[in-house]
Structure 1
Amino acid sequence: MSCPICDKESDAKYRPFCSRRCADVDLGRWLNGSYAVPSSDPDDADALADAARDGLGQQKRPH
């Protein structure tokens, strides 16, 4: 298996990476959002998140 960052042979200690450096590069990419899935309509995503947040904690009670 090759390292997904630099294509060198992976090291069992850092699998699937070849070194701690490549593992840290990957973590940095996750943390800064480089691996985020792009959205074609972020306004709808914001509205959906708001609706979900508003619904939390509000359980319907039987009448």
Structure 2
Amino acid sequence: MIKLDQFLKLLGIASTGGQAKLMIIDGDVKVNGTVETRRGRKLTEDDQVTVGGQTFKVGDVTHSNN
């Protein structure tokens, strides 16, 4: 499991936790098609995160970075 703000940093979309927080609070991030404003939202492998018009499956990203 990984938190949403940590996931954005892992992707390289946000360089800092503060930047990730602002993106999430501003409504720029969707989880499974729904805008998510909780930066501590825990993601599972099956969740899909959409940001900047790109969608990432959590399991694909976290497994390729291990």
TM-score of Structure 1 vs Structure 2, range by shorter chain = under 0.3
Higher strand share: 2
> Based on CA coordinates, which of the two structures has the bigger radius of gyration?
1
TM-score, scaled to structure 2: 0.26
Larger RCO, structures 1/2 (Cα 8 Å, 6+ apart): 2
Higher helix share: 1
TM-score, scaled to structure 1: 0.27
